[in-house]
Amino acid sequence: MHKYKIAIIGLGTVGLSVVQILNKHKNLIAQRSGVEIEIGKVVVRNKKKYECHNLPLSESLQEVLEDKSISLVVELIGGVDYPFEIAKKVFAHKKAFVTANKAMIASKMQELCKLSKGLPFGFEASVCGGIPIIEAFRDSLVGNEILDFSGIMNGTSNFILTQMEEKNQSFSMALSQAQELGYAEADPTLDIQGGDAGHKLLILAKLAYGIEAKEEDVLIEGIEEIELDDIAMAKRLGYKIKLLGIARKEDEFVELRVHPALVPYDCMLSSVGGAKNALSVRGDGVGEMFYCGLGAGGDATASAVISDIVNIARLRECASYPFPAFGSFDFYKHFKLKDRGEIACQFYIKIEVLHQSGVMAKLTSTLAENGVSISQLLQEDKTQSAIIVILTHRCEERKLNEAFCKLLSFDFVLGNPRKIRVYE
Ligand code: NDP
Ligand code: HSE
């Protein structure tokens, strides 16, 4: 049996799961893949803290780099700059590199492409946790032009929205629970402000279209402003609220966006709850595919990390690594990002207004003057004010923003009108 020695940097939620599964399924993996994976070193910052795990611990990355018997290094610490330094050193020492770190990949994609040339580089766990979506984009769907893909790419946000919807739990309680369960990033603002889903969208957009968009050029909004109220109103209208990542190709333009969206009950994405992720992908040959599974958590993510380790260990047996990590996309260089204001969809609008006669007439005429047409309208009375919820017909976001500016000038409008896009 061929033995393949690896090192793991970081023994947190994912690192510990990788170690445990590699031990638990050592024989199973060997029998199914023909390679025996051996953990040569585990690099931690403080050996004392991790002594109880009975592992070959080290506090020195250099020791791993210099150990010629170690063929592959797995980075599972998170962050951007230090993990990128690790990647550089690993490739410089001609070792394979595996990571679950989408923040680093999304911001250093070009550099990693150059550094990894000819060396195995696995990042299956970086997008949608346990779902083998990188393999799907890179290999299984390679015979298709990807027309569009959209879905739930952040387990923490989906868990929070599900807890709010099903258990009437507050946002902050649901977030604490997601943190306890190991779903959230070390900095959970990445989860709830949409940045993490944005990183994943950028990685998939690079694999699908070769487009190297920067985070700041993409529309990214999170779920922090979603209230229990919105979830209840959406339900009355026949929708669930989900944080979605959406990519659509139209001629030479690619539309990329991450934001909460009202998803109709009859759309499969609406039934994906908890920490699950799901992606609907349309290829020009295969048609629509739907991928669904756990998108966060130690074991689900470790499942993807281990698939990279074993795939690379197998390839090493064949002596060469055949393809560039993100593909070679010269042909697609002409793709441009679509301007945010041009994005058109239906909108859910929530406005709080004072009880006054004529308010509804002014509200609806202001929307009409800006080309925003109303599909449905709900009103919920409070003592002094009323919450008006409107579902618009499809319109350009720019027009709705103009209407909002005018609405703000009316003294019967309380606070800022809010909008949530509707998924079509
Ligand atoms: P954790 O915060 O649970 O673990 C990170 C670990 O890295 C900690 O145990 C920390 O140990 C260790 N660490 C930090 N700096 C160093 C260092 N310089 N040298 C050695 N060890 C270090 O994070 P996760 O396991 O959740 O996430 C790891 C990576 O996987 C991240 O990139 C994350 O985005 C990604 N990921 C996570 C998923 C999840 O569901 N959790 C899913 C998909 C990807 P200590 O503080 O004790 O020193
Ligand atoms: N924090 C991430 C999430 C982990 O909740 O989806 C998986 O990438």
Query: Can you give 221-247 as a three-state secondary structure string?
Result: CCCCCCCHHHHHHHHHHCEEEEEEEEE
Give dist(CA 424, CA 422) in Å, integer.
Answer: 6
Which two tokens mark 40?
A: 């040569």
Distance CA 144, CA 208 (A): 10
Nearest atom in ligand 2 to the alpha carbon of residue 126 is 8
The string of DSSP codes covering 21-63 is HHHHTHHHHHHHHSEEEEEEEEE-S-HHHHGGG---EES-HHH
Percent of the chain with pLDDT over 90: 88
User: What was the pLDDT predicted at 110?
Assistant: 86
Q: How confident is the model at residue 316 (pLDDT cuts 50, 70, 90)?
A: low
pLDDT at position 137? 96
Pocket test for ligand 1, best of 14, 65, 101 (most atoms within 8 A of CB): 14
What are 72's strand-pairing partners?
Answer: 6, 96
Domains for the chain: give ranges and CATH numbers.
2-129+298-331 (3.40.50.720), 137-294 (3.30.360.10), 342-422 (3.30.70.260)
* Averaged pLDDT for residues 63-73: 97
Which atom of ligand 2 lies nearest, measured to the CA of 197? 6
Token pair belonging to 29: 């993996």
The pLDDT value given to residue 220: 96
Tokens 């509707």 belong to which residue?
422
Q: How many beta carbons lie within 10 A of that of residue 89, not counting itself? A: 16
Helix, strand, coil percentages (3-state) for the chain, rounded to 5, are: 40, 30, 30
Asked whether 184 lines ligand 2 (CB < 6 A), one says yes
Tell me the C-alpha to C-alpha distance, in Å, between residue 274 and each of 17, 126, 154, 270.
20, 19, 10, 11
Predicted confidence band of residue 70 (pLDDT cuts 50, 70, 90): very high
Residue 366 CB coordination number (10 Å): 19
**pTM given for the model:** 0.95
Which ligand number lies closest to the CA of residue 12?
1
C-alpha angle with apex 206: 250 to 11, nearest 5 degrees? 145
Residues designated catalytic? 200
Q: What is the pLDDT of residue 83?
A: 98
- 165: pLDDT strictly greater than 90: yes
pLDDT band per the 50, 70, 90 thresholds, residue 1: confident
pLDDT tier for residue 330 given thresholds of 50, 70 and 90 = low
At residue 359, the pLDDT reads 95
CA–CA distance, 151 with 166 (Å, rounded to integer): 20
136 has a pLDDT exceeding 60 = yes
Ligand 2 in reach of 156 Cβ (< 6 A): yes
For ligand 1, atom 15, the nearest C-alpha belongs to: 77
State both tokens at 415. Answer: 């606070």
In this predicted model, what pLDDT tens digit does every residue of 225-250 receive, in sequence order? 999 999 999 999 999 999 999 999 98
pLDDT computed for residue 317 by the predictor: 52
- pLDDT of 413 strictly over 90: yes
The C-alpha torsion from 304 through 310 and 314 to 316, rounded to 10°, is: 100
Average pLDDT for residues 83-94, to the nearest whole number?
Answer: 97
Q: Is the CB of 43 under 6 A from ligand 1?
A: yes
Q: Please, are residues 264 and 423 in contact by the beta-carbon 8 Å criterion?
A: yes
**pLDDT at residue 323 tops 70:** no
244 CA to middle of ligand 2, Å? Answer: 13
Q: What is the pLDDT of residue 321?
A: 56
